[in-house]
Amino acid sequence: MNAAGVISGTPTTACTASPTFTVTNAAAATASKSLSITINTATINGAALYATDCAGCHGPLATSSKGVELQLKFRQQLTATPEV
């Protein structure tokens, strides 16, 4: 969480976290609250991604001049274990 209180980022693994947030006002009074946050990773559809973002320039994946190379890269990315 940044100084503005924003939690942001790109999830790489699914998890549940239960942080406790503590705030302090100008009079040094504090309050705390525990919350539960569930993070889900996005499911990537490589064929749909290629169709919307690449097919216009490279043609259908099966007949693209980049076909084999791109297919291998997509497969590697879709089966890769995310790093934390």
* 14: in domain: no
Round to whole Å and give the CA distance between 39 and 12. Answer: 9
CB within 8 Å of 73: residues ≥ 6 apart: none
Round to whole Å and give the CA distance between 82 and 51. Answer: 24
* 21: in domain: no
* 60: in domain: yes
pLDDT at 50 over 80: no
- Expressed as residue numbers, the domain containing 64 is 46-79
* 39: in domain: no
* 34: in domain: no
Radius of gyration of the CA atoms of the chain, in A: 21
- Which band of pLDDT confidence, cut at 50, 70 and 90, is reported for residue 82? low
* 30: in domain: no
Q: If phi over 0 gives left and psi between -120 and 50 gives alpha, with beta otherwise, what is residue 76?
A: alpha
> Does the predicted model carry a pTM greater than 0.75?
no
Domain count for the chain, please give it: 1
| φ and ψ of 20, to 5 deg | -110, 125
* 16: in domain: no
* 51: in domain: yes
